[in-house]
Amino acid sequence: MSLVEEMPANPDFYTMKFQLNGRIWIEGDERFIGIGRWELLTHIRETGSLSASAKAMGMSYKRAWDLVQSMNKQAPEPLVVTQTGGEKGGGSVLSAEGLRWLERYGELHRRFRHFLETECADLLP
């Protein structure tokens, strides 16, 4: 008896809800931007703080710093500009390049999600 013959057919197949999943990111020699880095940039834009952004995402400040440094190193100009604390306090802001990549990746991700939804509708009953 073959494995196929041993496996019973799933009578619920046509009533089950399926979906396609995937992730999309941009990389060169290393990852440049994906959904996690995009979310970090979004938090930085909203809070003006790398520390607050890291906390909101449940990651360490060091991890957030490393991600920002990786993006800054790979981009033609820094995406995030940081100012160390002092009398007026520190902060982090997105540069014009950072805002452009926030928009570019956001649109790419939106189109990718639409692609997955369309393909799922066409693929599955």
What number does CATH give the domain 30-78+91-125? 1.10.10.10
Contact by Cβ (8 Å): 65, 53: no
- pTM higher than 0.85 for the full model? no
- CA 63 – CA 100 distance, rounded (Å): 23
Report whether pLDDT(86) > 70: no
**Percentage of the chain exceeding pLDDT 90:** 69
Calculate the alpha carbon distances from 41 to 2, 29, 51, 125 in Å. Answer: 53, 21, 12, 38
Q: What is the residue extent of each domain of the chain?
A: 30-78+91-125
**Percentage of the chain exceeding pLDDT 70:** 85
More confidently predicted of 124 and 65 = 65
Pick from 22-36, 76-90, 103-117: least confident: 76-90
Tell me what pLDDT residue 84 has. 78
Band of pLDDT at residue 91, cut at 50, 70 and 90:
very high
- CA 16 – CA 104 distance, rounded (Å): 35
Report whether pLDDT(70) > 70: yes
Tell me what pLDDT residue 18 has. 74
Contact by Cβ (8 Å): 34, 42: no
Nearest to 92 by CA among 84, 102, 82: 82
**Residues 6 or more apart in contact with residue 88 via CB below 8 angstroms:** none
- What average pLDDT does this structure show over 86-110? 91
Tell me what pLDDT residue 125 has. 60
- What average pLDDT does this structure show over 12-22? 76
Contact by Cβ (8 Å): 50, 68: yes
Tell me the two tokens of residue 123: 């693929």
- The owner of tokens 């008896």 is 1
Report whether pLDDT(10) > 80: no
